[in-house]
Amino acid sequence: MSPASNSHPVSRPVAAAPLSVLGAFAIEVVGDAPVDRDRLAQAEVGALAQLIARDLADFAPEAARLELITVGAHYDPVELLRPGWPLHRELDELAARAPRGGLERDSGRIIAFGASGSVLPGTLPPSPDYLGGPLRLVPFVLKGAEDVVARVGDAFEHDLIEVGMAAADTALAAQAAFGLQVEHARFMTVHDLAAMTSIQYEHAGLAPLWPLLETALLHPGESAWLDAAPEPLVHYVNGEARIALMSPASWEQHYDHGVATTDDGQRERQQRLFQFFQGRQRQIAAVLGAHGISVQFVHCDLGDDCRAALS
């Protein structure tokens, strides 16, 4: 969503127009259990969408007055957590072009996209690169009268992470439809998802990267640095991440690892550290790319001001 305060340690994005609530039906899959399908046919998606709409209205009754836009497909968190929320934006734009009608519920409307001949519209097909993760997400957008959106959004931001467990029949419907085994199923906003992902990245040793990712997600017009030794030097600016591609000599200079010795053991250690540094660069570039952030490597040689080169 756009407005109001947030109880999570994640910043709010710049308000979008028109106002809307962005969220997801989150399915935690049992262990390594297989997943039969990542998308539903158009004829199948309506039943699950009706259950999602009902559950959301149970959490905030005014949600029944809003238009629910969703899709019969599930995605990895990195496919939702991208600057500008492109997957949610695609749902909104496709809905704007859809024929009026849809599934009625109370005074709101449900628009649920499914596959035709296994093909989803627009850019909605889930990426095969991110299948198999333990958390699968069915995105949704709620939109309508701005005062109603604001109240529902505030209620969801404050309470959904605590009270948003899906009803048993909703979880079972998703399990049967997608052919997977559900451990837990709940609803969350994109800000809940970002907060949860920040904790997961901390456990995965990626905590230093999160402030830069958070800026790209929630304040894409601003800039941020990853500038904390021994991490690679990264500058997010103008919508892209610039990574300093250092030579061994510039790396030693920048991180003060210069070794004035002929000791072979010490030099071998330096080489191993540099190789580890290069591996960390590749890891960070891959994470940024998975979140839809363009990465540019900027060469930085001995004597160069690497920070200036990335500005």
**Tens of pLDDT, residues 1-29:** 433 333 333 333 433 446 899 999 999 99
222: tokens are: 């601003």
Q: DSSP letter for 31, please.
A: T
203-212 average pLDDT score = 96
Nearby residues of 37 by Cβ (< 8 Å), 6 or more positions away? 177, 178, 179
Q: Output 264 or 213, whichever has higher pLDDT.
A: 213
Candidate from 35-44, 219-228, 267-276, 279-288 with smallest mean pLDDT: 267-276
Q: How far apart are the first and last CA of the chain?
A: 31
189: tokens are: 């906003």
Kindly report whether the peptide bond that precedes residue 230 is cis, defined as omega within 30 degrees of 0. yes
How many other C-beta atoms lie within 10 A of the C-beta of residue 142? 27
State the alpha helices, DSSP H only, in the chain: 42-59, 77-80, 86-97, 146-163, 168-178, 190-203, 210-218, 248-254, 264-290, 306-310
pLDDT tens-digit map of 254-272: 887 655 555 677 778 888 9
pTM of the full predicted structure?
Answer: 0.88
220: left (phi over 0), alpha (psi -120 to 50) or beta: alpha
- Beta strands 103-105 and 240-246, pairing class: unpaired
pLDDT tens-digit map of 288-310: 999 999 999 999 988 889 999 99
Nearby residues of 162 by Cβ (< 8 Å), 6 or more positions away? none
150: tokens are: 């604001």
Q: Output 250 or 13, whichever has higher pLDDT.
A: 250
Place of tokens 């010795």: 261
> Residue 89, Cα to own-chain centre: how many angstroms?
13
Of 83, 266, 59, 249, the C-alpha closest to 159 is 59
**How many Cα neighbours within 13 Å face the side chain of 34?**
3
76: tokens are: 């990895």
Cα dihedral: 239, 245, 246, 248 (round 10):
150
Give DSSP secondary structure letters for 189-225.
EHHHHHHHHHHHHHHTT-GGGHHHHHHHHH-TTS-EE
Q: What is the structure's pLDDT at 25?
A: 98
pLDDT tens-digit map of 275-290: 999 999 999 999 999 9
pLDDT tens-digit map of 67-125: 999 999 999 999 999 999 999 999 999 999 887 654 444 467 999 999 999 999 999 99
pLDDT tens-digit map of 133-150: 899 999 999 999 999 999
214: tokens are: 């958070």
Give the max Cα distance, the chain.
Answer: 79
**How many Cα neighbours within 13 Å face the side chain of 230?**
14
**How many Cα neighbours within 13 Å face the side chain of 55?**
25
